[in-house]
Amino acid sequence: MTFAERVTRANDLFWRLLTAIVMSAFALMLIIMAIQVISRYALGIAVSWTDEASRYLFLAEIFLGSVLALRYQEHIRITLVTDMLGTRLRQIAASLADIICIVVLAMLAVGGWNMMERTAGVLASTFRMSFSYIYLIQMISALMMIGLLIGDLYRRLFVKLPSHHIDRSE
């Protein structure tokens, strides 16, 4: 197996693992919320940890799921104006959009780092987990999306593609 094949295989494994993590977080969140509803309304017992656990899983699912949505180009887009542009102007608009997204995501990553430092000693009220883990997921997700966008920008500017569409599956 060549080095390129190993890298491709590792890349595929990484994306499958990230997908499994997001899907597991979603499934676990649904189970915990079902426990919360059943215990509260059917049994009349409030299970205090379910609220925080479902919130943390939801945040992990949102941030990591955003990485997957960007990777597979599934984010919502309004393309009314860009569809009317010529190929070159469409490339420029897409490049500008990538640069703006990179700047916003960099601010999100820096904000995540700052909040990690501030909340490192703050523990959740119902179980012993630091709030900084939420911001770690935020920071990691933002950095991963920055990496994807930099790759898109590089391919758009320096690699001749047959169309304006960037395919990350290769």
For the segment 89-111, the average pLDDT, to the nearest whole number, is 94
Confidence label for 140 from pLDDT (cuts 50, 70 and 90)? very high
Task: For residue 123, report the phi and psi dihedrals to the nearest 5 degrees.
Answer: -105, 150
- pLDDT over 70 at 169, yes or no: no
Q: What is the pLDDT of residue 123?
A: 87
- pLDDT over 60 at 83, yes or no: yes
Q: What is the pTM of this model?
A: 0.84
Sign of CA dihedral 5, 148, 170, 92: negative
Confidence label for 64 from pLDDT (cuts 50, 70 and 90)? very high
Confidence label for 129 from pLDDT (cuts 50, 70 and 90)? confident
Q: How many CB atoms lie within 10 A of CB 97?
A: 15
| Residue at token pair 């119902």 | 126
Confidence label for 70 from pLDDT (cuts 50, 70 and 90)? very high
For the segment 37-49, the average pLDDT, to the nearest whole number, is 87
| Residue at token pair 């991963």 | 144
